[in-house]
């Protein structure tokens, strides 16, 4: 499997509303941390996650988290 592009070496911390989100797993999206379809033609696909309440979320920006799509601190080892 190809390695994703590192979008940034820190999380995207945002207050999000309750709904479904498509997190970019390839790192190519221009709408980070969300998918914009830039993965088309590759082996990557977005990670769909449903947030059930308004809350602060730390989306993984380095694409190396073991808890995708959420940050687990993996960026500190890159």
pTM: 0.94
Please give the angle made by the CA atoms of 10, 11 and 13, to the nearest 5 degrees: 135
Residue-wise pLDDT for 56-78, tens only, equals: 999 999 999 999 999 999 999 99
| C-alpha distance from residue 48 to each of 14, 23, 29, 77 (Å) | 17, 6, 15, 26
> Residue ranges of the domains in the chain?
12-77
Q: Alpha-carbon Rg of the chain, whole angstroms?
A: 12
Residues in the chain: 78
Residue-wise pLDDT for 15-49, tens only, equals: 999 999 999 999 999 999 999 999 999 999 999 99
């Amino acid at each position: 499997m190809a390695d994703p592009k590192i979008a940034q070496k820190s999380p995207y911390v945002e207050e999000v509303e309750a709904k479904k989100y498509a997190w970019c797993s390839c790192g190519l999206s221009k709408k980070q941390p969300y998918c914009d379809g830039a993965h088309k033609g590759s082996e990557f696909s977005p990670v769909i996650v449903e947030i059930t309440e308004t809350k602060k979320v730390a989306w993984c920006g380095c694409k190396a988290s073991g808890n995708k799509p959420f940050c687990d601190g993996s960026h500190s080892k890159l």
